[in-house]
Structure 1
Amino acid sequence: MALLRSKLKLMVTVMMINLFIFLIFRQNSQYKNEQDKVHIPSKPFWTKLAPSSAYWNHQQQILDFQNNPILMANYSETDIPDWLINANLSSDPCKPNVRVTTQVKDYNSLPDRFKDFLLYMHCRSYPIKLDQPDICKKPPFLLLAVKSQVSHFDRRQAIRQSWGHAGVIANQTVVTVFLLGNATAWDHHPDLSKSLYDESMRHRDIIQWDYRDSFFNLTVKEVLFLEWIQTRCPGARFIFKGDDDVFVNTYRILDFLKGLSEPKAKDLFVGDVIVDAGPHRDKKVKYFIPESMYIGKYPPYAGGGGYLYSGDLAARLQQVSQHVALYPIDDVYTGMCLRKLGLAPEKNKGFRTFDIEVKYRSNPCAYKSLMLVHPRTPQEMIKIWAWLSNPSLNCH
C-alpha cells in the first residue's frame, strides 16, 4: 500500500513538472509572436491642442506654448491657431484688457474683485514708491518679509518690537521689510500717505509699490517682491514671507536653518502644506473661484500666513514666475511656480496656521518649539515674544 502511494505521488509530481514546462514554452512562443507583430499606437503621441474653457487655463496654455521651443518649431507663423496668439494686449501692458469682458462667459455676473483682477491680470510691473535700496548692504542670513497694508501701523510696530526685531539674533543677521501696495480712495481708505512716509523715514523698512492693494492683488505683491529680492537683496540666505497677523518664533527658525545640510538648504520650502485641494465654488467663500476662471486641482501649496524658503530658490521662483499666469490666490500661485520647477513644498509641524488648542495658548512653553502661529493680535505678539526672550523660561 505504501509503495502504491509513493508511485502515485511520483506520477503527480511528474505531471505538474510537465504542465509547468508546457506553460513556460507557450508563454515564450506568444511573447516571440508579439515581438514579430507591428504595433500601431491607438492614440497620437501629441494630443491635439485645443483651448481650455477656463480663462486662466487658457492663458497658461498660451504661455506654455510660447515657452516650449519643441512645440513652437512644429508651427510656422501662419499655422499657429488663433487661440494660441495672445492678441489681447495693447502697447501699454498695464492698460485694462477690455477684451476679457467678452472672453469670460459670465464676466458681467462676477463680483467686482474678479472683474478688476481679470482686467489687469497681464500687468506685472508697477512703479516703486518707497524703497530701501541699502537695507541688504550686508547680506542677511534671514530676510523677514511681511505682507502688510498701509493702515496696519500697530501690527508693524508690534512686529518690530517682537519677532521682527532686525539686527543680530542668535549670532545671525536678520533684516525685516514690510511689503505694501496703495490704499486707494476707490476702496474708501483714508489718505495715510503722509503718516506712512514718516514711518518709512523713521524705520527704513517699508517697501511700497504703486498698485491697488487688494486680496486678489497679493499675487502681484508676490511677483514684485521676488523681483525686488533679485535687485536689492540677492545675497539673503533664507527668506520668511508671511502676513502681519502671525506670531513667528524667530529663535526657532534660526535654530532650524542652522541645522540644515547644504543640499536641503538649497531647495528649502517649508510651511503648512495643503494637498489635494481645489477651487471653492461657493460664492459665499472668500476663496471662491468660478469654473469660467479655473478648472482642475491645485498643486500642493503652503498657505495660512507664512512659509520659509531659501534665497537660491527665490531666484528660481522669480524666473519661473514669468512663465506662470497670475492667479488671484497668492499661496496657490506660489505652489504653481514650485510645480513648474519640479518641486513641492514640505510640510513642517512647526507651522500652526490654524492655531493651537485653546488650553495651550497661554502657556509660554507651547510656543518654544513652534515656528509660526496664526492668528495673533499685536498685543499677543509682544507678550509671547517676552515669554520666549526670558532667560529664566524653563520648559523641560
Structure 2
Amino acid sequence: MFMNFRRIRKCQCVQLLTTCFALSVLMVSWEQVDHHVVSHMRSYSYRYLVNRYGFLNGSFAVSRGAALALNNHSYLLDHADACAGGDVLLLLFVKSSPENLERRRAIRSTWGNATYARQRLGAGVRVLFALGLHPDAGRRAAVQRGLLAEDRRHGDLVQQDFVDSFHNLTRKLLLQVRWAHTRCGHARFFMTADDDVFVHMPNLVRYLEGVARAGKARDFWVGRVHRGAPPIRRKDSKYYMSHEMYPWTSYPDYTAGAGYVVSGDVVGKLYRASATLNSTLYIDDVFMGICATVAGVSPQEHVYFSGEGKAPYHPCIYGAMMTSHGHVTDIHRLWREATDPAVTRTCSGLLGRLYCTAVKTVLLCKPYNFNTYPCKAAYS
C-alpha cells in the first residue's frame, strides 16, 4: 500500500512537471502562434468574403518610364534565336544561381533534355537557364568566366547584369517574361521552375498537348495555388513583408514559384502589366499574382504540381507527377525510375488504378503531409 502511494505521488509529480513545461512553451510561443492564427483568419476572411483586389492597380501602378528604370538590365549572355525554326510547345526557363553548375548539368541530362523531348515525345521544348551576376564581387569574375565557357558548350544561359540573390527574384521573373514575350512569342506555353525541381516531362507534355487540343490554351495558368495567403510579418523570415511595402491582409491568388505554367497569350498580358507596376516587391510568385490580377488572369489548381515539398518515391506517384520540389542529388535516380515503362504497367487497368488509389491514399493523406500533393490527388 505504501509503495502504491509513492508511485501515485511520483506519477502526479511527473504530470505536474509536464503540464508546467507545456504551459511555459505555450506562453513563450503564444504571441507567434496567436499572430499566425489571427493573420490567417483575417486573410481568409478578406479572400473569401470580399475577394476584390482592385487596389493593386492604383497602389502598385507606376509610369512606364519608372517601371523600365527599375528593370533596365542589359543581357550578358543571350540566345535571341533559341526559339527560331519550328513549332514550340513549351518554353521552359529554369531559375538557376551562377554557382549551380552541377544542377544545370543534371537537368540537361534528364528532364531538361530537348533532344529527348523531340525524339521520344515528339514535342518542341526549349529549355533555358535564367541567371544574374554572382553576389560575391570577389568571386564574380572567375564565376563569370566559367559561365561563358559553359554557355559556349551548351548555348542555353540567359543572364542579365543584376545581382543574383533572393531579393532580386522578381527581376529574374521579369527577365523570363520579357525574353519569352519578345523572343519566343509563338510558344504555346511558358513554364518557370527552380533548379531543384524535378519536372516529369513526358507527363507534362501529354498534359499540355491535351490542353491545346481541347482549345483551352488561352488565359491558362496552372500550378500549386495559394489562395488567401497572408503576408508574413515576422522579420526573421526570408519571406518577411513590411506594412510599408504591402499593407493589406491578403495576397491575391498566386502559384508556388517552384514551378508553374502559363499559356503564350498570358505571357503577353504579364509583360504589359509588369510595364506599369512597381516591381520592388521581391517575392516573385506574389508579384506574379499581382501582375496576373491586374491582367485579369486567375490560376487553376493542379494537384500534381508540388509546393515546397518533395513527392513520395513510388510508381503510382510517378504515373501522374508533374513537378516535385527539393531534388538535387537524386535527380538521375528519379528520372530513371519515373520514366521506366514499368510505371505505366503498374498504374494501368482497373486493378492497377485501384492499387494506386490505395497506395496514394496511404502516402498523401497524412495529417503532417504539407506542401507536396494534397490528399485529393489520391482520387484524381
Relative to the length of structure 2, the TM-score reads 0.70
Q: Which runs of 4+ in 1 moved over 4 A?
A: 57-60, 186-190
Q: What stretches of structure 2 of length at least 5 have no aligned partner?
A: 1-54, 348-380
SS in 2 for 1:265: coil
Q: Is residue 306 from structure 1 mapped to residue 259 from structure 2 by the alignment? A: yes
Match of 2:335 in 1: 385
Shift of residue 231, structure 1, vs aligned partner: 2.3
Q: Is residue 290 from structure 1 mapped to residue 242 from structure 2 by the alignment? A: yes
Match of 1:243 in 2: 194
Q: Is residue 136 from structure 1 mapped to residue 83 from structure 2 by the alignment? A: yes
Any residues of structure 2 matched to 1:133-282 within 5 Å, and which? Answer: 133-138=80-85, 139-167=87-115, 168=118, 169-186=120-137, 191-260=142-211, 261=213, 263-282=215-234
Asked if 1 retains the 8 angstrom alpha-carbon contact of 2:93 and 2:127, the reply is yes
Q: Which amino acid counterpart does residue 172 of structure 1 have in structure 2?
A: A
Match of 1:117 in 2: none
SS in 2 for 1:191: helix
Q: Distance in 2 between matches of 1:298 and 1:371?
A: 25
Asked if 2 retains the 8 angstrom alpha-carbon contact of 1:132 and 1:207, the reply is yes
Q: Distance in 2 between matches of 1:130 and 1:150?
A: 12
Q: Distance in 2 between matches of 1:301 and 1:208?
A: 25
Structure 1 residues 210 and 172: alpha-carbon distance in aligned structure 2, compared to 1, 3 A threshold: same
Asked if 1 retains the 8 angstrom alpha-carbon contact of 2:60 and 2:277, the reply is no
Structure 1 residues 192 and 62: alpha-carbon distance in aligned structure 2, compared to 1, 3 A threshold: closer
Rg comparison, structure with higher value:
1
SS in 2 for 1:315: helix
Match of 2:288 in 1: 334
Asked if 2 retains the 8 angstrom alpha-carbon contact of 1:269 and 1:346, the reply is yes
Q: Distance in 1 between matches of 2:154 and 2:216?
A: 34
Q: Which amino acid counterpart does residue 335 of structure 2 have in structure 1?
A: W
Q: Distance in 1 between matches of 2:129 and 2:193?
A: 10
Q: Distance in 2 between matches of 1:323 and 1:354?
A: 30
Q: Is residue 320 from structure 1 mapped to residue 296 from structure 2 by the alignment? A: no
SS in 2 for 1:178: strand
Any residues of structure 2 matched to 1:33-182 within 5 Å, and which? Answer: 60-61=58-59, 63=61, 123-138=70-85, 139-167=87-115, 168=118, 169-182=120-133
Relative to the length of structure 1, the TM-score reads 0.67
Q: Distance in 2 between matches of 1:334 and 1:277?
A: 14
Asked if 2 retains the 8 angstrom alpha-carbon contact of 1:247 and 1:374, the reply is yes
Structure number with the higher helix fraction is: 2
Structure 1 residues 154 and 390: alpha-carbon distance in aligned structure 2, compared to 1, 3 A threshold: same
Q: Distance in 2 between matches of 1:351 and 1:371?
A: 5
Deviations 1:258-312 (A, max 9, x none): 1115542111100000011121110111100111221112100001401011111
Q: Which amino acid counterpart does residue 257 of structure 1 have in structure 2?
A: L
Shift of residue 345, structure 1, vs aligned partner: 0.8
Q: Distance in 1 between matches of 2:277 and 2:73?
A: 18
Q: What stretches of structure 1 of length at least 5 have no aligned partner?
A: 1-56, 68-85, 95-121
Q: Distance in 2 between matches of 1:220 and 1:60?
A: 21
